[in-house]
Amino acid sequence: MNDIKFTTKLLKLSVLALLSNPFRTMLTMLGIIIGSLTIIIVVALGEGAKRDIEQQYSSMSVTTILVNAPSTVEGARSKLNYDDVVELKAIDSLKTVIPQLSGKVQMQSEGNSSNLSVLGTTSDVKELANLKLISGKFWDDEVDGRAKVAVIGAIVAEELFGSRTADVVGKTIVVGKKEFEVIGLLEYKGGSVGPTTIDDSIFTPYDSAYRYILGINGRFNINAQAKDVSRIGEAVDQMSTVLRETHNLKAGTNDDFRVRDMGSTVSSAVNSSRTMGILLASVGVIVLVVGGIGIMNIMYVTVTERTKEIGIRKAIGAKEEYILMQFIFEAFLMSFIGFLIGAVLSFGAFFLLKQFAVAYVVVWWSYLLSFLVTISIGLFFGYYPAKKASALNPIDALRYE
Amino acid sequence: MKLNKSNLLVLENIRREYTVGGTTYPILRGIDLTVKTGDFLALMGPSGSGKSTLLNIIGCLDTPNSGKYNLKDNDVSKMTISDLAEVRNKHIGFIFQNFNLIPSISVLENVLLPSFYLGNEDQKKAEELLVLVGLKDRMHYRPNDLSGGQKQRVAIARSLINNPSLILADEPTGALDSKTGHEIMELISSLNRDQNKTVLMVTHDMNIAHMAHRIIELSDGKINK
């Protein structure tokens, strides 16, 4: 009990010492404040980026393999087209292969008009992107291959019909200049299939999209799914071989297509966001170290200024450890209060990030991390000056003017 | 020299030297001194005679290079730094020429400070001591709001808070005018007279030295016989 009282009194001494020069204390804490704030924000940004990536790729499994045509291949147009889909379907390591013809088109219905995406594909898209219908159904590729029918995403329904309820099925949308019948409504999904976001798209049979809407202006790519994670590499190789054959590419020439498996795309996205996070976190730590050096500097000045006081305290019986504790408390308080201010400022920073629509996720452990790093640095840099103060010879210290 | 129950402190052949830049300067050259409980001693001598060094050694602020120092039957010369701090805290009260109060805390807190380091703050006792030195009404003042004489009274109250048996005063009137100096000396004498405190005082002033029971003269690091 006495120990607690004693410690409280020592803490009070440290507080008084810090308050005796509030401006200097504030300046000293500035580095600590910025450092602890940086750590909190960096973690939140990192988590935000991670969430973004997860959301973006949520509807794609790691077995997804995308084939697209680079915009220009040595000036020549890519030969990638619908016929490749048929060839690729023969590969036994692939479960599904769909063509994707996509583009943005003005759509109208019931007086509403909006610029939305069209995706011409086969009904296999339902399985591949794991789409769920609220009502209606997908088209039959054999029967409706060229029908003017569409399955619409949740946002499309909201934009054009003002609601996403089952009664939109059977209604008509004017896509470009053609009328399409709505035959299905999708659940809200959040995510994308290949380059196309799901919720603000309409899905139509491939031929219908080509003939009536997009033509050669559509962006074409192929979306395939491997049967198993362990066969992705094999599938990617086989796809490249088949495509080179069907495109009649001679040995030694470059591919006029690009095959990417989503597993490695996602993991490289995750990796790069992690690298970024580590980079930013190191900036936070560097700021804190500089802040810690600031604490050390000021504490040296303080110890010198208070040499006489230390001498008096020692002469009347203060043991070395009490003097040490008193100064360590000062370093602790500066880093602790610096952390608290940084934590409070983080709310303001998050408010700003929100205004600028920057993705972030606040996680509790970022505060814990910031707290631990900040306090350790404060104590680390505070220890040496405190040690110096406690080791002063009382006679010399008393004579000091 | 025989150790006697009433001997508060015994110094035997105390030597102290300082080495500066390879040259050794002897300051104390074999001091033998016995002080009994209730004694009142004045230490005199020209500057450089070693009286301050002797007072520091007796006050456990400094340690001798050789010799034996017994305080209350404890061999101080063998103590650790931490033990010495405890001895200063419990058994010795210091009164300095320039008061050595801490300016950032109140008079009361200054008086309480040694008891704080003892882990036994006694507010009531501190107030009683401030009554004794006539400064009860100033206890919430800061030291710098007081006159020199008042500061020294605060320092005296502080020296008494842990009820030490030995009071060490280093030129206690050196920074005061003669009238105030005499008032302070009256107070110090009364501690010896009324509370049976053993007092060791360094002074230049013969008039003040004569208030002591015994005058010890030092020159060249030795006690003049």
Q: What is the DSSP string of B172-224?
A: TTTTS-HHHHHHHHHHHHHHHHHH--EEEEE-S-HHHHTTSSEEEEEETTEE-
Interface ipTM: 0.92
Give the other-Cβ count within 10 Å of B134's Cβ.
14
Residue scoring higher pLDDT (B49 or A61): B49
pLDDT digit string (tens) for A236-275?
888 888 888 888 888 777 778 888 887 777 778 778 878 8
Instruction: Give the closest residue to B40 by CA, choosing from B222, B133, B129, B172.
Output: B172
Please, which pLDDT band fits residue A113 given cuts at 50, 70 and 90? Answer: confident
Query: Which residue from A minimizes the CA distance to B93?
Result: A316
Distance between CA atoms of residues A72 and A75, nearest Å = 5
Give the end-to-end CA distance of chain A in Å, rounded to a whole number. 38
Token pair recorded at residue A279: 């980079």
- Reported in sequence order, the residue ranges of A213-307 that DSSP labels E, i.e. its strands, are 219-226, 258-261
Residue A56 pLDDT exceeds 80: no
φ and ψ at residue A30, rounded to 5 degrees: -55, -45
Give the other-Cβ count within 10 Å of B190's Cβ.
12
Per the listing, tokens 């759509």 go with A107
Amino acid at A47: E
Q: What is the pLDDT of residue B57?
A: 93
Range A21-40 burial, b when 16+ CB lie within 10 A, else e: eeeebeebbebbbbbbbbbb
Range B191-213 burial, b when 16+ CB lie within 10 A, else e: bbeeeebbbbbbbebeebbebbe
| C-alpha gyration radius of chain A | 33
Class of domain B38-63+90-223: alpha beta
Token pair recorded at residue B48: 């450089």
Do residue B90 and residue A17 have CB atoms under 8 angstroms apart? no
Residues with Cβ within 8 Å of residue B89, at least 6 apart in sequence: A316, A317, A318, B114, B117, B118, B162
Task: Enumerate the residues of chain B whose CB falls inside 8 A of the CB of residue A320.
Answer: 81-82, 85
Beta carbons of A292 and A32 less than 8 angstroms apart: yes
Do residue B100 and residue A20 have CB atoms under 8 angstroms apart? no
Cβ of A322 under 8 Å from any chain B Cβ?
yes
Pairing mode of beta strands A112-121, A201-205 = parallel
Beta carbons of A128 and A198 less than 8 angstroms apart: no
Beta carbons of A46 and A280 less than 8 angstroms apart: yes
Q: What is the pLDDT of residue B77?
A: 82
Distance between CA atoms of residues A117 and A101, nearest Å = 10
Distance between CA atoms of residues B164 and A348, nearest Å = 57
Beta carbons of A40 and A367 less than 8 angstroms apart: yes
Per the listing, tokens 């040296």 go with A300
DSSP SS3 for A208: helix
Q: How far is CA A305 from CA A301, A378, A400, B110, in A?
A: 6, 20, 10, 19
Task: Enumerate the residues of chain A whose CB falls inside 8 A of the CB of residue B54.
Answer: none
B59's torsion region: left (phi>0), alpha (psi -120 to 50) or beta?
alpha
Do residue B88 and residue A395 have CB atoms under 8 angstroms apart? no
Residue A193 pLDDT exceeds 80: no
DSSP SS3 for B210: coil
Q: What is the pLDDT of residue A59?
A: 61
Instruction: Give the closest residue to A180 by CA, choosing from A194, A193, A168.
Output: A168
Do residue A320 and residue B89 have CB atoms under 8 angstroms apart? no
Cβ of A17 under 8 Å from any chain B Cβ?
yes
Amino acid at A192: S
Token pair recorded at residue B96: 């300095």
Do residue B89 and residue A316 have CB atoms under 8 angstroms apart? yes
Angstroms from A304 CA to nearest CA on chain B = 15
Distance between CA atoms of residues A275 and A273, nearest Å = 5
Pairing mode of beta strands A64-68, B222-223 = unpaired
Identity of the residue in B85, B100, B104 whose CB atom sits nearest the CB atom of A317: B85
Highest-confidence segment of A158-162, A189-193, A210-214, B80-84 = B80-84
User: Please, what are the averages of pLDDT over each run of 10 residues along chain B (225 residues)?
Assistant: 67 91 90 93 90 92 91 88 93 93 92 91 92 93 93 95 94 90 93 93 90 92 85
Residues of B at the A interface (Cβ-Cβ below 8 Å)?
56, 59, 61-62, 81-82, 85-86, 88-90, 94, 96, 100-102, 104-105, 113-114, 116-121, 158, 162
Please, which pLDDT band fits residue A77 given cuts at 50, 70 and 90? Answer: low
Q: What is the pLDDT of residue A216?
A: 79
Q: To probe the interface with A, which of B16, B56, B82, B104 has the most A CB atoms within 10 Å?
A: B104
Residue A60 pLDDT exceeds 70: no
Per the listing, tokens 């009536």 go with A212
Distance between CA atoms of residues A53 and B92, nearest Å = 72
Q: What is the pLDDT of residue A276?
A: 81
Identity of the residue in B56, B94, B104 whose CB atom sits nearest the CB atom of A316: B94
Cβ of A6 under 8 Å from any chain B Cβ?
yes
Distance between CA atoms of residues A24 and B201, nearest Å = 42
DSSP SS3 for B217: strand
DSSP SS3 for A188: coil
In which element (H, E) is residue A113 found? strand A112-121
Highest-confidence segment of A159-163, A225-229, B167-171 = B167-171
Do residue B94 and residue A315 have CB atoms under 8 angstroms apart? yes
Do residue A394 and residue B113 have CB atoms under 8 angstroms apart? no
CA B200 from centroid of its chain's CA atoms: 6
Token pair recorded at residue B178: 């003669």
Mean pLDDT over each residue of chain A, to the nearest integer: 85
